[in-house]
Chains A and B, each alone.
Chain A
């Protein structure tokens, strides 16, 4: 499905069905008028090769800016409205984006008329550039082509063919997280109604929205589903409207599988997997909600999507079933590059027998039936609330604070919350934890800020003199915190 065709079909549809969380249905005319103004502004202020960044609150205006970019062939960069200035500057330096859409710019777009100009879209432009955590304090901009996204959209259409225009979707995830595009693409494909969630961490809010808006399809991370199935939430909630759950962005635990069997047996539940570098997701697994979904307590991620090649690698491609190695992904959904980072781009890929593969860093094996299971990570990257966090990245940002001598972060696994990040900091000058956290808000994104900061005088080291993270973790768990 070409993205331009997707748009043509959608724009020919009888109405845009977008509602804000308060339930006020935007009139078709209001939405169309906003959309036309945005497109006119883009056409009159940009060259087709230029890039825009969107930095407003996640709501209908954000979506319209994204859709306008997609339709016009303009590459967009999603940001959160509360990104610290240094983050915006880092991204500007890497991408040289021409236009930043913030609240003021949006007001300008809506309040002025713009001259009509001819527009020759460049559909070979990337669709979007999304930034993920690096390991050195510099974010990596993942460049995704329209061709890669088009393959993914085709897979969505295939696997979620049962969705219809009667279905209600809930935009839960921030647009800076690529899984948010599942809702956007399904909204476009199926003409569903799309509601914008106000949920951030209060799970009661999310449960309320699901019931209130009679949501039929939920796309979210395992942690949120875990919370929704918590006895204190589910006992006062009603998810009977939800016929399909698409759960990905982090590990689908055996514990969560048990809860799904108990509470959601009548629903379709998909465990989905994939790095941002492989356009949202690369594997879908429709769970049977029985023991066949698991091996040794590990839930299957299923088979690769069409036009994606998966294999297991340990100095060579492993063909035998159940032998572990690094999961490599090839095929149509691979990113173009990390923008302006040829070194990292080169090291992210491996070429074997003239096939280019992305190195996921995930340890995996394949079963005889061709399904894959993820069993661990090769490096210091963890998932928290679905977001990728590199612990070394966190350390390098914290070490930039003047009063910090050293920082070592660990991740403590929690069955429900996936991971908590604990930062052990050695200070040059006395500071309260509260002050440190406040300073970190100006250099880290909200999900990167450690769950706990512990001020220490020294670190345990191993026989090689390296900081022993294992001992730090054991000590933390032993204290029962």
Chain B
């Protein structure tokens, strides 16, 4: 098992305490031991964990346990809220408050994704903000680094400063600023070479570049997969270069992303953007609540809902909604649901958005829940007549046998599907009043439903 979710861990701790009055120091300490482990397993750096836990402790002791929530859930809620607050309550924007062209400096360790991020940011600023952008690579060390930015600029249609062989980084930066001024550009993105925080010469070089162009933003590009070292790296970059913001890359991986908390705390600088994929438009504003849930092992539930919203055909959703309002959710609807799930990348795709996947996979293997199951269920529905699909009630034993034979499954499989359909139909009845938003959430919820609940927020988490 890779990770236990914090709710599971706390569930064990608090099992005996269910339904007591206020949280005592002993309760809180027992819970915070688990919180500490969860944070460490999520790669939050140790000193940050200690501060954070101490802070949460003062908030949690003496809190009344409301009847409807368990003490464990209450502690998670306090931890979660605190985590969101610490990560930055609102989305931070980039600072363009200077005479154009406005320079933005991109710095970070080797392989953190600076060049890719620079190109993505350039494309974003041109497309969404309608700013004219010039990008320049100051990486004269890594073979073909300048070539990489040139190609990416070509792909996205963002201007890139032509390379002059042998020119040094500070001079390239100055040339970029001049070129941008002459061409009336709004923003200059300066992509620096990757450097170790302890490489004195390289840090001096970055500082010299900064002093030469006086950027409004010095963005630290950092890998979301980073471990305990995040705090050291962030601190030194902050001290030496004065970081104004953080861009967290590879958030589309399955790391728990504790580095976000470490870096935010170590630098005091907000996380401004996140890299969410390999495509050039995969750069998004940072939402603290999503990362907070992920760090705690509660799954990137909100993102899942949004992805579901993206993919689900609006028309189909409207049709379904009308039907649900009328009280009938039939097999044809279930069929389209199964197909939607496939579109979202199947079970594996959906699950990859959730941390603790190892555990889920084990659970899935045990229950034989996989993409083949979706195919089997599809086959079962396809073996039904149109009438049977509309009126599930007429499915007697003989019909079930025929369907099982027709779809190459067993009657037990057919029964299982019918049960699933019934559960879903009931569920839809309940959310009928919630409208479209509630619907999308419910549809997304079905993806992880019945798999041990690893992905769901505990009750009592109003969003």
B partners with A: no
A residues with a Cβ closer than 8 A to B are none
Query: Which residues of chain B have a CB within 8 Å of any CB of chain A?
Result: none
